[in-house]
């Protein structure tokens, strides 16, 4: 399961999409309940996105001016 999650994260970070789309059905087919799958995917996606954001900031692909809130 860890390998599947790693591959989904790799696809997500390289293409910018499909993490939940790939991992949700796999976890549901594996027998996990939706009450476990949804928070797990949301939390792991948060961790991956924070890592990606920090990496972009470190290599200067991103500046604070880019945020338009």
pTM over 0.85: no
Predicted pLDDT at 32: 94
Nearest alpha-carbon partner for 16 in 43, 41, 53, 67: 53
Say how many C-beta atoms besides its own lie within 10 A of residue 49's C-beta.
13
Domain definitions of the chain by residue range: 2-64
C-alpha distances out from residue 34 to 2, 24, 25, 29, 56, Å: 18, 9, 10, 11, 32
Return d(Cα 57, Cα 38) in angstroms, integer: 28
pLDDT in tens, the chain (69 residues): 778 778 877 887 777 777 788 889 989 999 999 999 999 889 988 888 888 888 888 898 877 777 776
């Amino acid at each position: 399961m860890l390998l599947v999650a790693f591959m989904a994260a790799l696809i997500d970070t390289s293409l910018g999409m499909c993490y939940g789309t790939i991992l949700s059905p796999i976890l549901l087919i594996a027998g996990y309940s939706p009450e476990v799958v949804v928070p797990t995917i949301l939390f792991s996606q948060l961790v991956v996105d924070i890592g990606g954001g920090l990496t972009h900031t470190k290599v200067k692909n991103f500046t604070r001016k880019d945020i338009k809130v």
